[in-house]
Structure 1
Amino acid sequence: MATQPFNYTIWAQDKPRKAPAARAGKPKVACSYQRWWYAHGLQKVGREYADPDRPLSTEPVKKGAWYEVKCSNGSRKIVWIANKRAPAVIAEQLAHRAYKRIPIAPPQVLTAPPRGRDGLVGLPHWFYLAKGQWTAKTKRLRTGGVWAEATARPQRMTIDTGEGHTITCNGPGTAYDPSRPAARQSSTCSYRFQRPANARRVTVSVTWGGTWRGSGGAGGALPAITRSVTFPVRIVEAQALVTKG
């Protein structure tokens, strides 16, 4: 006696649902990407074999690559990023490396009165940078077909006077010209010391802001860099000479 199997067809219709609305006021999470060098053996070697300081590979990324993602909320994970996004991520990493290689030395500061000569209580003491100090600096790196260029630009000069006061100047200061009368000159960055001191410790700092651009129109901001120099300044009180006629 022949038997026939029963055949069943089960189907269901999945109705699309609207995505939940984003919560107002929810803090934004910023994430950074670091190339994971052991993508082919991801499940064999584990996270402890990561080498984030290894130079970027010049081998072309084909379909994509693995990346370690670190976010500002403390989360860390390894994700696969398709090739269409990989160049921008690599460009950002290149930009940070290029930024670190920009030579930014402590500022060369000039003063009026000149360093080594006495300043006077109550009179303007000028601070200004040597010529060519207030200039943007750029560094470019490339790996394979991906490139990035980082730029550092001076933004402000800050003077800690050593008297408990700090002044901020939005430029390199004005150079003093000894060939011109003092009455016809003015400073854009000066301070009037209030008390005499044999060796007042003054600290001058210059803060640089960073930006970058790279492959595929990528770009953004980079952390600020500050360089400082400290030197002594002697401040004396003017002595009045009284004579009898």
Structure 2
Amino acid sequence: MLRRRAMTGAVLASLVALGSAETTASAGGGKVVCNEKGLCRVVADGTTTTPGRGDDGKQASDGRSGKPKCYDSNVGNMETPCYLKGFGYWGNDRNCYFQKANPQPPAGDPRWEGHSPADGAVYTAYCPDNPNMTSQFFAQPPNGGAGVDPAVLAAEAVKKMRLLGPDIASPRTAGKYTVGVPLWMWVNQSATTYGPQSASASAGGVTVTATAQVSKIVWQMGDGATVTCNGPGTVYQVSAGMSESPTCGHIYAKTSAGAQGGKYQVTATSTWGIDWGVTAGGGGQTGQLTQTQQSQMEVAIGEVQVVR
């Protein structure tokens, strides 16, 4: 690392003297880029210099993949790789790469900065704009979000939730239903069976909060029919008489006598729509996830009994 810094320093010294905003040169297989202030640094050949979002050096997203983007606020928010093998993860708020020192320095070493090993850890530092910075103590991982994938945290937040299948209120297993008579379907709503419910997950100074709610329920009625309901359904009222459900219903055309056990197996599959966003320590990334859960029940469909 010292050899690389020495080489980089020599190249940068000559380039700073040029002071050109467009200056580039070859350096050990990479390229040196200087901004309008004459600040220069070595970056990989494939690194672009598109300015990042925001002038505070905070992590941003490319708006398409939602993946973290890393920028050096000392060099006009120039884009920089979020991870370099052998150097660690970039911290947007510190303009350095950090990785946990292995092995850790012995207790009492100056690199602990007066702390004890029980307080945190020492990280090696590679700071392209400050070569004198070689290590730093941190109580928490110093990635500043650059080494943390918010989508992974979102998945962890979802694991903390209890997302269940629909709580079917109608049809009822003990109910009596008839061919040709409109059947109204609806579900009971709770945080675990319909939503909304929220949970958060944190790592590396980044917190992601996810909120889940059912967006639709697909009913497989057992007779070959499928009904998609974009809501919990409407509770039947006696005043509705023989009318069809305005939101979620089905009419059986034949009895369930020929079905296994003399009943149709009904499967209700709910689709949970999950919106997540970085609520602390990141660049405001957002995203969506989906998850499906099922519930099943059996329903008997008979014929109209004519009394003579």
TM bracket, shorter-chain basis: 0.5 to 0.7
For residues 158 and 231 of structure 1, the distance between their equivalents in structure 2, rounded to whole angstroms, comes to 14
2:292 corresponds in structure 1 to 226
> Which of these residues, 219, 240, 245, is aligned with residue 306 of structure 2?
240
* Residue 39 of structure 1: how far off its partner (Å): 6.6
1:212 corresponds in structure 2 to 276
Q: Is the 8 A contact 2:183 2:245 kept in 1?
A: no
**Is 1:106 the equivalent of 2:165?**
yes
* Residue 149 of structure 1: how far off its partner (Å): 0.5
2:159 partner letter: K
Higher-RCO chain (CA-CA 8 Å, sequence separation at least 6): 1
Alignment of 1:171-186 (within 5 A): 171-177=231-237, 180=239, 182=241, 186=245
* Residue 90 of structure 1: how far off its partner (Å): 4.2
Aligned residues: 185
Q: What TM-score results when the alignment is normalised by the length of structure 1?
A: 0.61
For residues 303 and 255 of structure 2, the distance between their equivalents in structure 1, rounded to whole angstroms, comes to 6
Q: What TM-score results when the alignment is normalised by the length of structure 2?
A: 0.50
For residues 217 and 210 of structure 1, the distance between their equivalents in structure 2, rounded to whole angstroms, comes to 19
Unaligned stretches of 5+ residues in structure 1: 1-12, 16-27, 42-57, 65-81
CA gap of 1:182–1:124, structure 2 versus 1, over 3 A, is: same
1:163 partner letter: D
Q: Is the 8 A contact 1:90 1:146 kept in 2?
A: no
* Residue 142 of structure 1: how far off its partner (Å): 2.5
* Residue 218 of structure 1: how far off its partner (Å): 3.1
Q: Over residues 163-196 of structure 1, what are the superposed CA-to-partner deviations in whole Å (9 max), with x where a residue is unaligned?
A: 1111100000011245x45368844111001110
* Residue 145 of structure 1: how far off its partner (Å): 2.8
1:162 partner letter: G
* Residue 146 of structure 1: how far off its partner (Å): 1.8
2:226 corresponds in structure 1 to 166
Q: Is the 8 A contact 1:63 1:83 kept in 2?
A: no
Cα RMSD (Å) = 4.0
1:176 partner letter: Y
Q: Is the 8 A contact 1:92 1:219 kept in 2?
A: no
For residues 200 and 101 of structure 1, the distance between their equivalents in structure 2, rounded to whole angstroms, comes to 34
CA gap of 1:14–1:229, structure 2 versus 1, over 3 A, is: closer
Unaligned stretches of 5+ residues in structure 2: 1-22, 26-63, 69-81, 90-98, 103-119, 127-141, 257-261
Q: Over residues 139-173 of structure 1, what are the superposed CA-to-partner deviations in whole Å (9 max), with x where a residue is unaligned?
A: 01233532111121211010001111111000000
Q: Over residues 31-67 of structure 1, what are the superposed CA-to-partner deviations in whole Å (9 max), with x where a residue is unaligned?
A: 799999x8756xxxxxxxxxxxxxxxx8698858xxx
| Secondary structure, counterpart of 2:227 in structure 1 | strand
For residues 102 and 175 of structure 1, the distance between their equivalents in structure 2, rounded to whole angstroms, comes to 27
> Which of these residues, 245, 265, 274, is aligned with residue 201 of structure 1?
265
> Which of these residues, 197, 202, 214, is aligned with residue 142 of structure 1?
202
* Residue 200 of structure 1: how far off its partner (Å): 0.7
1:122 corresponds in structure 2 to 180
Q: Is the 8 A contact 2:199 2:211 kept in 1?
A: yes
